[in-house]
Amino acid sequence: MTPPIPATLIPGDGIGPEIVDATLAALDALEAPFEWDRKIAGLGGVTASGDPLPAETLDSIRRTRLALKGPLETPSGGGYRSSNVRLREEFQLYANLRPARTIIPGGRFDKIDLMIVRENLEGLYIGHEHYVRIDDDPHAVGMATGINTRQGCRRICEYAFDTAVATGRKKVTLVHKANIMKVLTGLFLETGLQLYEEKYKGQFELDSIIVDACAMKLVLNPWQFDMLVTTNLFGDILSDLVAGLVGGLGMAPGANIGTDAAIFEAVHGSAPDIAGKGIANPIALMLAAALMLDHVKLQDKATRLRTAIDQTLNLDKVRTGDLGGTANTMAFTKALVSRIRGA
């Protein structure tokens, strides 16, 4: 019997609690051994303690080093920073993993199986921005500073290359803009190419591509790519583009991996307009839970969960409204649980 695995559970805002409950039902059917410590964040955290990330939520993640979270809403106004960015910084979650796989065949793009690995802490997202006043215009000039470090570039490339070897990826592509940002992204490209020559040559094919050409080729012929590795801003953009190839953010799980903690999430928003209506699609968070199962070395349960999702959608034809079906969240979850249990 697998010993209990402590994990922090953050239901989040909007549709978060609904899709979390659906995901917990699937994990219970799999007999996944997570021992949940339920905590609040986002708007719920502001209401309860005046902070989107209350201290006891952060303490829980420090203790468990593992979390599953629903979407968090960053309150507008009040100077609140993105809770997701704060979590990445707090726990040094340097790698963002975004797989994109076709689940419902027959669309414009079929048989997609891509992985994007994004550096999560550096680049233009470090937030060093300021205005320069000229005459009576306080916002006459806007300036931003991006920072990439050799250590950060090597760390993300090493994580990506190790993941490629472990998961049998045949080709890894470094995505950059070193033709223009010769220093900022040139350092990333240089580091990735050097690392490959030092440790990984022959274990997979490595190539590189400029980010704008990559975006075009992803739309024209995404099958030429296998794994993309890139810096923070480019990874943010391309991972959403790739999600669009497989049905949108409702099918897009995400993992944020650090040395001492890992947080798994649905990457879509909190969708307050449909919160409480029971019609949300829980697949993105369920796929994030599958990544979480992979992370704790329960790959058999992860495979069972992904297979059950495939079968529920394609054999049973049970789909939520955003996927062209008529099922509500509860009906989809019930059908999925039946598949997991082999009923």
Cα dihedral sign for 166, 84, 40, 13? negative
Buried b / exposed e across 313-323, counting CB within 10 Å, b at 16+?
A: beeeebbbebb
Q: Which residues contact 168 (CB under 8 A, 6 or more apart)?
A: none
Q: Give backbone dihedrals phi and psi of 246, rounded to 5 degrees, phi first.
A: -120, 15
Out of 125, 196, 294, 301, which one is annotated catalytic?
125
Out of 28, 137, 207, 212, which one is annotated catalytic?
212
Note if 240 is an active site residue. Answer: no
Note if 236 is an active site residue. Answer: yes
Are 279 and 20 in contact, with CB atoms under 8 Å apart?
no
Are 120 and 88 in contact, with CB atoms under 8 Å apart?
yes
Half-sphere exposure (CA, 13 Å, Cβ side) for 303?
A: 4
Out of 13, 37, 226, 236, which one is annotated catalytic?
236
Count Cβ atoms below 10 Å from residue 157 Cβ, excluding itself. Answer: 26
CA distance 6 to 27: 14
CA 201 to chain centre: 28
Note if 177 is an active site residue. Answer: yes
Out of 177, 226, 294, 301, which one is annotated catalytic?
177
CA 184 to chain centre: 24
The DSSP code sequence of 153-195 is HHHHHHHHHHHHHHHT--EEEEEE-TTTSTTHHHHHHHHHHHH
Find residue 256's DSSP bridge partners.
96, 263
Note if 212 is an active site residue. Answer: yes
Three-state DSSP class for residue 105: coil
Structure tokens at 327: 């099922």
Are 148 and 231 in contact, with CB atoms under 8 Å apart?
yes
CA distance 39 to 165: 35
List strands edge to edge, sheet with 171-176: 34-38, 5-10, 66-69, 262-266, 253-257, 95-101, 113-119, 227-230, 171-176, 205-210
Q: Which residues are catalytic?
A: 125, 177, 212, 236
